[in-house]
Amino acid sequence: MLSPEAHARILSIDGSAALEVPGVRAVLTADDLGVVGGSGRKAEPLARTEVVFAGQPVALVVADSEAAAEDGAELVFVEYEPLPAVVDLEQAILPGAALARIERSADEADVAMHGEAGAGEDDEGTERVSANVIDIVAYAEGDPEQTFAECAAVVEGRFRTSWIHQSYLEPQAAVAWPEGDGGVAVRSSTQATFWTRSDLARVYGLPIPKVRVEAATLGGGFGGKFGVIEPLVVGAALALSRPVRLVFTRSEDFVSASPGPGLVIDLKVGARADGTLAALEGRVLADSGAFSDSSPVGFAGGKLGGAYSFEAWSVRTYGVRTNRPGAGAYRAPLATPTAFAIESLVDELARRLDVDPIELRLRNVPAAGDLRVDGIAWQATGLRETLEAVREHPLWQRRDDLPENEGIGLASGLFPGGRMGASAVCRLDSDGGVTVVSGYVDMSGTDTGVAAIAAEIVGVPLDSVRVVSGDTSEAPQAGVSGGSMVTYCLGSAVALAAADAREQILRYAAQQLEVDQADLEIVDGSVRVVGAPQRELSVAAIGSRLTGFGTSYPPVQGHGTAVPPDLAPSAAAALVRIRVDRDTGRVELLDWVAAQDCGRALNPALVEGQMHGGAVQSIGYALYEELVYDEDGQPLNGSFLTYAIPRIDAVPEIQTLIVEVPAPYGPLGAKGIGESAIVPGAAAISNAIRSATGARLHELPMTPDRVWRSLRSPAP
Ligand code: MOS
């Protein structure tokens, strides 16, 4: 049962009436769950003495049927003492603001971990801020004031972006059951098997071997499925020594999961007369929601510079605790809203300087080694190639030849992606099939890319490769299915495992065919002598022999373990044509061209699918999606009836331009492409509105009322 209050003390919880309902087995509160460690939301699956957002789980009613559990939950009586809800970021940071959390708790330890425990003043001790500010991150380089003074054009703006739900089609779900000798297993909708295992072990004080996590194949998670539901279900299974299942309803998922947070961005950018981006100054208020483990500051500030580098900059990001759910990741975390700000201003600079917007962006493609605003060095990216691909497109060529109220907009987007070590096994089965085993989660079709890597490297047909995702007790270590890491990082391990398997196959075939191994090739599932293809041995025959009785050779099993030595950022560009209805403010999308650098398209259909999906989600970010909370912190639109995602009639035909600039360390040159696809879309739509009407939008989503108002105060 979920808290109806956004912020309140819990005075009492009475589950006695619920326990009278036939079929109800237990009413569990925080005290029953036996949490012993961890921090943040995972260590507080049920509220303890204080609820900190409307929708926070307060008690679990466990019953033999869903109906009985629902009836029971109606009869759990909780007495609350309401406290002021903190929802406005600007108010929340002021000294003396009401606090979003009173209780000093496991969450506090986490704040201390970030080195901001006092949070009474900033890191230089010069600025008074509220204790709601749980994190401050600052980046600076050079002398921005001096550099702004040297600029030929300086533009600035305040941009606001909304809380947004990942809106995966499958709500979060998990089933947990006790397992031998005090252990527990959980099968869930997680994006992260091994992380979830570590979290659960920490939270419930269990040794790692006592926790087993199995993942279900996911259609999507988009960053929202990182351990919200598992601590609840596992806690209940341990407390009751029974299997327990929990499936969020859609509205439960809306109000109590971990959506992407809203930002308030003040950004100022200056360029030299030739279009060189020179100076940047920014302040970001990033809504952390109620938990500090999800503080989004690290993601926000570092992305303010977009896909570019500058000569001098100063960026301050404030993580602000409010009475909303804990902020989670959402596909390319915070790159879409920060791209909305920087790409809007870059568009304005192109206008001020009268430089072609693609030309201006091309002049500012970072060279490898240039610094991002977070001080990390850029790697080479395919940014230039994606912009060049878009420049050739007929839609760009005829951008000045449009009817009234139509506009064309362009934006770049980039996501650096992550790096995690991963391992895989690649074995040859008795039927000649190749099985890849790893402990990762198959999400949004990633298995097909993994299979393509193994098939190409071993030299067997794609349909003879199977990918098996095992659980954390039996499968090789894997990273999370997130951060654009599956193809790039796990794929690297799979490539090594496949090469190892190939080597073993060739070694055996060389002995059997009595030729030098170097004279062999594997073509279409058969090992052949180069130049004498009639001398061959099928991979299927090898699989059969080496798994049979009496073989003198060991079975083929390749192993790969890897972590790429550097990131492989994927660049994207969106080019859109829109029409604005001046009477209503409604924006209609007419054309969409998406260009993206994927390094190497292992499965072109899947790459296009990611580009389509990213474009559509960026349309949601741009025009529709916003989790609305009232001044008391009450969610007002926690269902698909009232939370608008783009419907098919809002989506234009999306043309995809796949760009392939190989990643030096990627498997077969491939990069992770899941995230950058969403990044440029909202900015491109905003730039198109500017081009159609002269109005510069500063708030996402750009709903008809906002566009209509903006039309009455066009940009200077
Ligand atoms: Mo992601 S936003 O790392 O699933």
Q: Are 454 and 485 in contact (CB under 8 A)?
A: no
3-state secondary structure of 635: strand
Q: Provide CB contacts within 8 A for 226, sequence distance 6+.
A: 190, 191, 192, 195, 196, 258, 328, 329, 480, 482
For residues 696 and 576, membership in a common domain is answered with: yes
Per-residue buried b or exposed e for 673-682, using 16+ beta carbons within 10 Å of the residue's own CB: bbbbbbbbbb
- pLDDT above 50 (res 116): no
- Distance (angstroms) between ligand 1 centre and the Cα of 226 equals 9
For residues 667 and 628, membership in a common domain is answered with: yes
Alpha-carbon gap, residue 644 to 100, rounded angstroms: 28
For residues 599 and 614, membership in a common domain is answered with: yes
Which DSSP category does 623 fall into?
A: I
- pLDDT above 90 (res 298): no
Atom of ligand 1 nearest to the CA of 480: 3
Angle at 561 between CA 184 and CA 482, to 5 degrees: 60
Mean pLDDT of 367-395: 94
Atom of ligand 1 nearest to the CA of 224: 4
* pLDDT of res. 128: 79
The per-residue pLDDT of the chain, averaged, comes to: 94
Which residue out of 485, 610, 675 has the highest number of ligand 1 atoms within 8 Å of its CB and is therefore the one to mutate? 675
Atom of ligand 1 nearest to the CA of 418: 3
- pLDDT above 80 (res 110): no
Give the pLDDT confidence of 211-231 residue by residue, as tens digits. Answer: 999 999 999 999 999 999 999
* pLDDT of res. 309: 93
Structural domain of residue 412, as residue ranges? 263-417+567-711
pLDDT band at 112 (very low <50, low <70, confident <90, very high): very low
For residues 670 and 576, membership in a common domain is answered with: yes
For residues 465 and 531, membership in a common domain is answered with: yes
Q: Does residue 152 lie within any of the structural domains?
A: no
- pLDDT above 90 (res 180): no
pLDDT band at 329 (very low <50, low <70, confident <90, very high): very high
For residues 317 and 427, membership in a common domain is answered with: no
Q: Does residue 283 lie within any of the structural domains?
A: yes
Q: Are 496 and 430 in contact (CB under 8 A)?
A: no
- pLDDT above 90 (res 124): no
* pLDDT of res. 379: 87
Give the pLDDT confidence of 518-563 residue by residue, as tens digits. Answer: 999 999 899 999 999 899 999 999 999 999 998 999 999 999 999 9
Q: How many domains does the chain have?
A: 2
- pLDDT above 50 (res 346): yes
Alpha-carbon gap, residue 361 to 595, rounded angstroms: 15
Binding-site residues, ligand 1, Cβ < 6 A: 191, 221-223, 329-331, 333, 482-483
Record the tokens describing residue 335, joined without a space: 């790159």
pLDDT band at 39 (very low <50, low <70, confident <90, very high): confident
Record the tokens describing residue 526, joined without a space: 């058969």
Atom of ligand 1 nearest to the CA of 485: 3
* pLDDT of res. 302: 87
User: Lowest-pLDDT range, 186-195, 384-393, 707-716?
Assistant: 707-716
pLDDT band at 464 (very low <50, low <70, confident <90, very high): very high
Where are the extended beta strands (E) located within 357-459? 406-415, 422-428, 434-438
Q: Are 618 and 687 in contact (CB under 8 A)?
A: no
Alpha-carbon gap, residue 200 to 210, rounded angstroms: 10
- Phi, psi of 61, rounded to the nearest 5 degrees: -105, 120
pLDDT band at 292 (very low <50, low <70, confident <90, very high): confident
Q: Does residue 621 lie within any of the structural domains?
A: yes
Q: Which of 506, 531, 562 is the last residue of a domain?
A: 562
- pLDDT above 70 (res 127): no
- Distance (angstroms) between ligand 1 centre and the Cα of 166 equals 10
Q: Which of 62, 27, 676, 112 is closest to 411 using CA atoms? A: 676
- pLDDT above 50 (res 326): yes
Q: Does residue 488 lie within any of the structural domains?
A: yes
User: Max alpha carbon distance in the chain (Å)?
Assistant: 85
Give the pLDDT confidence of 246-262 residue by residue, as tens digits. Answer: 999 999 999 999 999 99
Identify the residue whose C-alpha is closest to ligand 1 atom 4. Answer: 223
3-state secondary structure of 212: strand
- Distance (angstroms) between ligand 1 centre and the Cα of 174 equals 19
* pLDDT of res. 380: 86
- Distance (angstroms) between ligand 1 centre and the Cα of 169 equals 16
- pLDDT above 60 (res 244): yes
Q: Which of 506, 530, 562 is the last residue of a domain?
A: 562
The pTM of the full predicted model, rounded to 2 decimals, is 0.95
Give the pLDDT confidence of 613-655 residue by residue, as tens digits. Answer: 999 999 999 999 999 999 999 999 999 999 999 999 999 999 9
Atom of ligand 1 nearest to the CA of 332: 2
* pLDDT of res. 358: 98
* pLDDT of res. 600: 97
For residues 397 and 459, membership in a common domain is answered with: no
Q: Tell me which residue has tokens 């002598």.
A: 529
Q: Provide CB contacts within 8 A for 615, sequence distance 6+.
A: 574, 592, 594, 651, 654, 677, 678, 681
Q: How many CA atoms lie within 13 A of 510 on its CB side?
A: 13
CB atoms within 10 A of CB 124: 8
Alpha-carbon gap, residue 689 to 408, rounded angstroms: 8
- pLDDT above 50 (res 115): no
* pLDDT of res. 716: 67
Alpha carbon separation from 450 to 456, 465, 570 (Å, rounded): 10, 9, 18
Per-residue buried b or exposed e for 701-711, using 16+ beta carbons within 10 Å of the residue's own CB: bbbeebbbebb
Which DSSP category does 90 fall into?
A: H
* pLDDT of res. 713: 83
